[in-house]
Amino acid sequence: MKQLDGLRAKGFDYLKKITAVDYTDRLEVVYFLYNLDTKEEQQIFVKLKPDSPEIDSVMGLFAAADWYERELSEMFGIKILGRDAKRLLLEEWDGVDPPLRKSFAWGKDYKKV
């Protein structure tokens, strides 16, 4: 991802976190980067389509992205390109919608394991 490459070159070498936001009409992935020398923080917002959300992995830039990307995949249903499908939280998920999407129907299709 070019934006992250550029920020890393400017000294933003610490990935604090990655999360996603479901706005119903779109998903956004938010990267929080930190410059340890200048104590500055920078956020990058990437808009995705809700019907087929996918984004490139940033594991090549930040090793800390590993678990965050797994969480995005499992909890928001975002396909992370360039990664395996190894599960982190939901080992045998058979639900239709990911649990952190607004379309998830609590109580209806929720099946306790």
Q: Kindly report the CATH number assigned to the domain that includes residue 24.
A: 3.30.460.80
**Helix or strand run (H / E) with residue 42:** strand 40-48
How do residues 64-98 score in pLDDT, each as one tens digit?
999 999 899 888 989 999 987 677 666 666 666 78
Average pLDDT in the chain: 86
In a domain, 92, yes or no: no
- pTM of the shown model: 0.84
Q: Is residue 89 part of a domain?
A: no
Task: Please tell me the distance from the alpha carbon of residue 35 to that of residue 11, in angstroms, as a whole number.
Answer: 6
Helix (H) or strand (E) holding 48: strand 40-48
Give yes or no for a contact between 22 and 100, defined as CB atoms under 8 angstroms apart: yes
Q: How far is C-alpha 14 from the chain's CA centre?
A: 16
Q: Is 100 domain-assigned? A: no
Tokens of 80: 């992370």
Confidence (pLDDT) at 113: 46
Residue 31 lies in a domain: yes
Tally of domains in the chain? 1
> Is 71:14 a contact under the CB 8 Å cutoff?
no
Residue 22: domain span:
2-81
Q: Residue 33 above 90 pLDDT?
A: yes
